[in-house]
Structure 1
Amino acid sequence: MLLIQYIDVHHTRRVGILDQDRITAIDGFATTLALAQHAIDSGSALEQLARDHAGSATESYAAVLAAGRLLAPIDHPDPAHCYVTGTGLTHLGSADTRDAMHKKIGGAVEALSDSMKMFRMGVEGGKPQSGEAGVQPEWFYKGDGSIVRTTGATIPMPAFALDGGEEPEIAGLYLVGPDGAPCRVGYAIGNEFSDHVTERQNYLYLAHSKLRNCAVGPALLVGELPAHVAGTSRIIGVDGAVRWEKPFLSGEQNMSHTIANLEHHHFKYPLFQRPGDVHIHFFGTATLSFADNISVQSGEAFEIEAPVFGPPLRNQLSVLDAAPVKVKTL
């Protein structure tokens, strides 16, 4: 099942079931958050709860998108209570990429870069037995709910950024229950969006490179993630033509970590067990246009799609005006 959030023709916020181009509104719940909270409180399965409350009102997805009425698949009324985070060095990539990567991480550990050591650790210990904790992944903070964009929205890049490049990833979407237990609401396709030039200068700049906007959606996939997810990432030029295109792979079959291990190492911190908080956590990727020496320009667009997640995620890049910051003394 795919769920989306949108504004209907009566200017009312809704959550609905997406099937091809048809959106069926869910009665009694205005948001994904409210639906998920009720599922937790009632002990109901989210998919069944959505089906039980499916109403008669329907709309065209294409019409909602064209009118700019589409929302991100999950959010929080207070953006500060939505954490956006991620993990890196988690994906094995294509067969050629895997072969090259295994050659890079072979031999003496001391000869490897810190990044390759981290990747090797994941390959060797990122898929523990059920109930056990595996090796920790690379982890980073991106921001709060205010940085999340939906499909059709512009992704703004700071004027001080050295690059604005896509990262086609799957994100886990979560709500922390009243007992502090994290509950996975579902998954969504996402563009994690980073400054790869800044990161390449020195890996200690990773934190700086990740403090950027991102995009998620348009739909939320309820249930378990397929072991193999195949999609396509594109850069669309200002003339509307495809400037760069490449397939990407995700799902545990194509990862060095299990989803459970990534979730454990995020939610093991009490800070991330606060009841009522929403979490959007990116699981990583092995496919970047930056790796093919593509520099995305303002006005060009990112397009990321994978059939299991329904419609594609598409966002145009823009550059913000420079805004010098000066701290005042009180």
Structure 2
Amino acid sequence: MISLVQFRGADGDRGVAVIRDGRAASRLPGVSSTLALARRALAEGTTLDALTRALGDGPPVDLAAVELLAPIDHEDSAHLLLSGTGLTHLGSAEGRDKMHRALDDAAHQTDSMKMFLMGVEGGKPADGAQGAQPEWFYKGDGSSLVAPGAPLLSPDFALDAGEEPEIAGIYLIAGDGTPVRLGYALANEFSDHVTERGNYLWLAHSKLRPAALGPELLVGELPAHVEGVSRIVREGRTLWEKPFLSGEDNMSHSIANLERHHFKYGLFRRPGDVHVHFFGTATLSCSDGIETREGDVFEIEAAPFTLPVRNPIVRAASPAAAVKAL
């Protein structure tokens, strides 16, 4: 199994390290970014795995002594799109249902539960078929992607700053418009759950927040069962901790179905664009009554990823959004 890690050294130069089968990281010779490596693989008609192996190992890289970068980025942040799907994991409807079931009779299904059941019944169609549509949301562009260890900025108008431990798929659109999956990253799809709880139609607002990825891009297939831990650390002590599950064995949709529904739109098949697509979660601290605050640190870890996602919350002032006539 191969993982790629983007970094910046003490000299300011960028590089890409490779972790092969859990061994110590080494530098990929002549490679300055994951995107450049992916473009080269496409141009040479090979795979990331094969190209990485052909390049061999350069000098060792001490990942604790360099600046870790997000595992994917783009020279023009407008050409990196963050999006995601919800209600995709077995058990995820319960937490969402608690959030939305305030005035409704408990005997009636909420729209969230109906959407979840659609996935359970039709989210894993036979190969090549298109199954039930998942919930979908837009999250931002590359400017919303937070580097490892960097703050997750919660705007001053936010009502909540909540974690979502997830797996994200990373994609590059080839010259002919074909989406090419580069691999997977561990992720924190940061959201405002109190805003969403107020009215589920505010989901779009609740998702317009930054997001963090772990340092590693896992090349190849995601294991069918991924088990990890999500925690919140406050003033050096663990405030909340809970295991989470992902991978297709724990999902109501197949990854292929989520990909088909995202990339069925021509807008998302523009050559040269990069996509980070979050696959959803079933574990939220807000479902356990946790209220986060500035300074709290989110920590998410899961095998086969060897490095965690770790980011603090920082409250950020939002500039006035007044519109002027021209």
TM-score range, shorter chain: over 0.9
Deviation for aligned residue 1:54: 3.1
Q: Structure 2 CA distance, aligned partners of 1:28 and 1:59?
A: 14
Deviation for aligned residue 1:132: 0.5
Q: Structure 1 CA distance, aligned partners of 2:129 and 2:57?
A: 42
User: Which residue among 72, 75, 80 is the counterpart of 1:74?
Assistant: 72
Q: Structure 2 CA distance, aligned partners of 1:292 and 1:171?
A: 24
Q: Structure 2 CA distance, aligned partners of 1:302 and 1:165?
A: 9
Q: Structure 1 CA distance, aligned partners of 2:58 and 2:85?
A: 40
Residue matched to 1:275: 271
User: Which residue among 156, 169, 172 is the counterpart of 1:175?
Assistant: 172
Q: Could you tell which deviates more after superposition, 11-20 or 169-178? A: 11-20
Q: Structure 1 CA distance, aligned partners of 2:221 and 2:59?
A: 28
Provide the secondary structure at the position in 1 that maps to 2:60.
strand
- Please say if residues 124 and 252 of structure 2, whose CA atoms lie closer than 8 Å, have aligned partners that are also in contact: yes
Once the two structures are superposed, residues 53-86 of structure 1 have per-residue CA deviations (whole angstroms, 9 ceiling, x without a partner) of: 134222211112xxxx111000110000000000
Q: How does 1:204-283 map to 2 (within 5 A)?
A: 204-237=201-234, 239-283=235-279
Provide the secondary structure at the position in 1 that maps to 2:163.
coil
Q: Normalized against structure 1, the TM-score is what?
A: 0.92
* Structure 1 letter corresponding to 2:44: S
- Please say if residues 155 and 318 of structure 2, whose CA atoms lie closer than 8 Å, have aligned partners that are also in contact: yes
**Compared with structure 1, are the counterparts of its residues 266 and 233 closer, same or farther at alpha carbon in structure 2 (3 Å cutoff)?**
same
Q: Could you tell which deviates more after superposition, 297-306 or 36-45? A: 36-45
* Structure 2 letter corresponding to 1:144: D
Deviation for aligned residue 1:181: 0.1
Residue matched to 2:157: 160
- Please say if residues 17 and 61 of structure 2, whose CA atoms lie closer than 8 Å, have aligned partners that are also in contact: no
Unaligned residue ranges in structure 2 (runs of 5+): 102-106
* Structure 2 letter corresponding to 1:226: P
Once the two structures are superposed, residues 172-230 of structure 1 have per-residue CA deviations (whole angstroms, 9 ceiling, x without a partner) of: 00000001000000000000010000000001100000000000121010000000000
Unaligned residue ranges in structure 1 (runs of 5+): 105-109
Q: Is 1:56 matched up with 2:58?
A: yes
Provide the secondary structure at the position in 1 that maps to 2:61.
strand
Provide the secondary structure at the position in 1 that maps to 2:268.
helix
Residue matched to 1:12: 13
Residue matched to 1:286: 282
Deviation for aligned residue 1:9: 3.0
* Structure 2 letter corresponding to 1:28: G
User: Which residue among 101, 120, 123 is the counterpart of 2:120?
Assistant: 123
What's the Cα RMSD here? 2.0
Provide the secondary structure at the position in 2 that maps to 1:47.
helix
User: Which residue among 197, 200, 213 is the counterpart of 1:200?
Assistant: 197
**Compared with structure 1, are the counterparts of its residues 213 and 130 closer, same or farther at alpha carbon in structure 2 (3 Å cutoff)?**
same
Q: Normalized against structure 2, the TM-score is what?
A: 0.93
Q: How does 1:115-154 map to 2 (within 5 A)?
A: 115-154=112-151
- Please say if residues 5 and 71 of structure 1, whose CA atoms lie closer than 8 Å, have aligned partners that are also in contact: yes
Q: Could you tell which deviates more after superposition, 122-131 or 16-25? A: 16-25
Once the two structures are superposed, residues 270-316 of structure 1 have per-residue CA deviations (whole angstroms, 9 ceiling, x without a partner) of: 00000000000000000000100101110010000002111111000
Q: Is 1:324 matched up with 2:320?
A: yes
* Structure 2 letter corresponding to 1:51: R
Deviation for aligned residue 1:324: 2.1
Deviation for aligned residue 1:90: 0.2
Provide the secondary structure at the position in 2 that maps to 1:60.
coil
- Please say if residues 21 and 60 of structure 1, whose CA atoms lie closer than 8 Å, have aligned partners that are also in contact: no
Once the two structures are superposed, residues 25-60 of structure 1 have per-residue CA deviations (whole angstroms, 9 ceiling, x without a partner) of: 112221100111111121212112112213422221
User: Which residue among 295, 302, 312 is the counterpart of 2:298?
Assistant: 302
Provide the secondary structure at the position in 2 that maps to 1:164.
coil
Q: Structure 1 CA distance, aligned partners of 2:184 and 2:206?
A: 24
Residue matched to 1:29: 31
